[in-house]
Amino acid sequence: MDGKECSRLLKVAPNVYHALKHGNAVVALESTIISHGMPYPQNLETAKEVEAIVKQNGAIPATIAVLDGVPCIGLDDEQLERLAKLGSNVRKTARRDIPHVIAAHENGATTVSATMFFASKVGIPVFVTGGIGGVHRHGEQTMDISSDLTELGRTPVAVISAGVKSILDIPKTLEYLETQGVTVAAYRTNDFPAFFTESSGCQELDFDDEPYEL
């Protein structure tokens, strides 16, 4: 995406645009955890801390959100604080919600699926988050399956996470990811994590029962 398209369709922060243009490392970050994950000011402190960690490791953080109907790839301190103070008044925005939020000139905090969508549009190949969505318990009856899983199967962005949320049906989530053609790899372990815990009891990778270390 060139500069003209960026200014017309979405807003890319100058440091993010410069890094992408010169082939430097950029890491996408979601914004739902800021608006819906915790109260102010802890949410703002956490957002800044995460961005600082990305910077310390030599990459440019690009927190993604929709502000006043404009998708923003990379937020400055003022925008981060605005999002943090608005909290749950900001619409939680998955991929399906993007057209409505933009057309209504609303504020939207992007979930995993929406963050991946926007990251892909501007050429950010890596996205870091906490826990992704998955198949809910009794999902075979309710069909309650997060759009995160479908997005992982069709959008070329590598997602680094702490696995899926522990309240979900993790074995069915892994089966669904396989159906979507999603490669799942664990770092220095063969156990699939469950957000708050290192192991979910599921072993996604099977190489003669030996852990596959990246």
CA distance 72 to 60: 15
| pLDDT tens sequence across 142-189 | 888 999 999 999 999 999 998 888 888 989 999 999 999 999 988 888
* Cβ atoms of 10 and 3 closer than 8 Å: no
Amino acid at 45: E
> Which of the residues 11, 81, 165, 204 is marked catalytic?
165
Q: The domain at 3-129 falls in which architecture?
A: 3-Layer(aba) Sandwich (3.40)
Instruction: Give CATH 3.40.1790.10 domain extents, the chain.
Output: 3-129
More confident residue, 78 or 168: 78
For the question of whether the overall pTM of this predicted structure is more than 0.75, the answer is yes
> Which of the residues 11, 30, 151, 204 is marked catalytic?
30
- Residue 88: CA count within 13 A, CB half-sphere: 4
- Known catalytic membership, residue 165: yes
- Known catalytic membership, residue 92: no
